[in-house]
């Protein structure tokens, strides 16, 4: 059975999540994951993530897709470069906010939530995002490093040293070990009221009351920062999702709900929420193939046709289509040139003043005279008092009828005049245009032509 892999790249930890499938003897609860955390220096986060992914894929060939979260575009570029160096290609990158929203939909009731605020308190800083819960569009996202998990651990360390029970470590290695011990004490306080952890420097003793008093100012400051981000986003939120390692502190949820005034969602194991959300979004890469081109229909007279002529080619049209298009384009060019030449010649003839002559010669070239229209009879100059002369129909017919011996003129066509050197036929069927011979131009200081 195929599986998928979700990966979140934090400042000091890379987390991997794989959904678990039900076995033959039982059913695994929904959204149950196999989790793995790898601690590494912040400067090698992307390389460590790519190395962990390569090792997981080599040991689990059933993994069909991988999704990796990123916080910034710079981190996304670094992840791509690290994956390319290991020749890993079947993966996708998604923003952390998108993975957080998808995980919230999968594990919480989000039917009444249209805009969600994500409070992500990690080891290196705090990120507050305002996201559209339905489209995963990010309205506002801000990050600060003044408040972080490491900062809260340093507060516990300094408080333990100031109490006199813990000696100050002498070297950086001892200081890092004491910080890890204070972090473990902080995490244990999420489900207990007091914790006591021995160390080489002494006993780390911490109660819930002392811890909350120590953390209150920093957590209240982070809650006000989250509220300001929501106000700047200009989108009222209906819930706040708290993730990251700092989400295990119960005081954070209480302060956020009191400051912002909306319900606060804290999922179990909040530090792995991004990796699990990425695993839920993992899909195998789909490679789409281009559809094959339809064969080219040939004519009935094409008895022998090469096979490569009808085969579809990439980026190249068949030879027959190119030939037909070139013929039609050549004919179109010839027609355009012919019409352009006729227009130019006609314009030259009209511009030189030979347009009327051409029109007159064209109208008289058929050998027939135009018959003027009958004019109305002029009024008689006789005295109006005299009686008008009337004519009978026979007399009128005799006056109007033409003489008997006169035959009607027949339309005769004359042969066109011979073509001279300056004679051009503009339109077939119309008389040619004769261009005049201009006299030579004699410039001052130059002999006349012919001398």
At 191, is the pLDDT very low, low, confident or very high (cuts 50, 70, 90)? confident
CB-based contacts of 67, cutoff 8 Å, min separation 6: 4, 5, 6, 7, 91, 92, 93, 94, 99, 278, 279, 281, 282, 283
Mean of pLDDT over the chain? 75
At 347, is the pLDDT very low, low, confident or very high (cuts 50, 70, 90)? low
Element (H, E) at 320: helix 319-351
At 380, is the pLDDT very low, low, confident or very high (cuts 50, 70, 90)? very low
**pLDDT for residue 21:** 66
pLDDT for 291-344, tens place per residue? 444 444 444 444 444 443 344 434 444 434 444 454 555 555 555 566 566 665
Residue 355 contacts residue 349 (beta carbons within 8 Å): yes
- What the block records as the tokens of 47 is 């390389």
pLDDT > 70: percent of the chain: 60
pLDDT > 90: percent of the chain: 39
| Residue 410 in this model has a pLDDT that exceeds 70 | no
At 3, is the pLDDT very low, low, confident or very high (cuts 50, 70, 90)? confident
At 102, is the pLDDT very low, low, confident or very high (cuts 50, 70, 90)? very high
In angstroms, rounded to a whole number, what is the distance separating the alpha carbons of residues 291 and 253?
55
Range of lowest pLDDT (101-115, 290-304, 350-364)? 290-304
DSSP-derived pairing of the beta strands 239-243 and 115-121: parallel
pLDDT for 208-219, tens place per residue? 999 999 999 999
* CA 280 remoteness from chain centre: 25
The overall pTM is greater than 0.85:
no
Identify the structural domains of the chain with CATH numbers, from first to last: 1-96+271-285 (3.30.420.40), 109-266 (3.30.420.40)
CB-based contacts of 99, cutoff 8 Å, min separation 6: 6, 8, 67, 69, 273, 274, 275, 277, 278, 281
**pLDDT for residue 177:** 86
HSE-CB for 200 with a 13 A CA cutoff = 12
| Residue 415 in this model has a pLDDT that exceeds 50 | yes
């Amino acid at each position: 059975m195929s599986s998928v892999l979700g990966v979140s790249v934090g400042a000091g930890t890379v987390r991997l999540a794989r959904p678990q499938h039900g076995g033959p003897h039982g059913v695994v609860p929904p959204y149950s994951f196999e989790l793995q955390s790898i601690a590494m220096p912040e400067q090698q986060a992307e390389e460590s993530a790519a190395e962990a992914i390569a090792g997981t894929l080599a040991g689990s060939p059933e993994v069909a897709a991988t999704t990796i979260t990123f916080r910034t575009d710079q981190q996304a570029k670094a992840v791509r470069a690290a994956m390319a160096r290991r020749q890993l290609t079947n993966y996708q990158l998604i923003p952390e906010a998108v993975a957080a929203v998808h995980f919230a939909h999968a594990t919480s009731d989000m039917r009444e939530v249209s805009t969600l605020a994500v409070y992500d308190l990690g080891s290196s800083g705090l990120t507050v995002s305002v996201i559209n819960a339905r489209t995963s569009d990010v309205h506002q996202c801000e990050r600060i490093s003044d408040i972080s998990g490491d900062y809260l651990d340093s507060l516990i360390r300094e408080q333990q040293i100031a109490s006199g029970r813990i000696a100050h470590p002498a070297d950086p290695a001892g200081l890092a070990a004491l910080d890890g011990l204070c972090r473990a004490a902080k995490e244990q306080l999420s489900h207990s009221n007091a914790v006591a952890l021995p160390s080489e420097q002494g006993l780390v003793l911490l109660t819930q009351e002392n811890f909350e008093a120590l953390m209150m100012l920093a957590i209240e400051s982070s809650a006000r920062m989250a509220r300001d981000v929501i106000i700047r986003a200009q989108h009222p939120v209906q819930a706040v999702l708290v993730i990251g390692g700092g989400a295990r502190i119960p005081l954070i949820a209480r302060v956020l709900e009191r400051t912002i005034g909306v319900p606060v969602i804290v999922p179990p194991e909040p530090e792995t929420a991004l990796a699990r959300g990425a695993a839920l979004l993992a899909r195998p890469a789909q490679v789409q193939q281009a559809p094959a081109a339809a064969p080219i229909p040939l004519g009935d007279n094409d008895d022998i046709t090469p096979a490569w002529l009808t085969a579809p080619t990439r980026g190249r049209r068949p030879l027959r289509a190119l030939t037909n298009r070139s013929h039609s384009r050549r004919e179109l060019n010839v027609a355009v040139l012919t019409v352009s030449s006729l227009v130019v010649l006609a314009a030259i003839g009209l511009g030189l003043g030979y347009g009327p002559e051409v029109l007159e010669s064209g109208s008289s070239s058929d050998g027939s005279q135009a018959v003027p229209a009958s004019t109305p009879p002029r009024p008689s100059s006789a005295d109006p008092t005299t009686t008008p002369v009337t004519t009978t129909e026979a007399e009128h017919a005799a006056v109007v009828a033409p003489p008997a011996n006169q035959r009607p003129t027949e339309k005769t066509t004359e042969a066109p005049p011979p073509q001279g050197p300056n004679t051009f036929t503009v339109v077939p069927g119309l008389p040619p245009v004769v261009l005049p011979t201009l006299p030579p131009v004699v410039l001052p200081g130059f002999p006349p032509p012919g001398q």
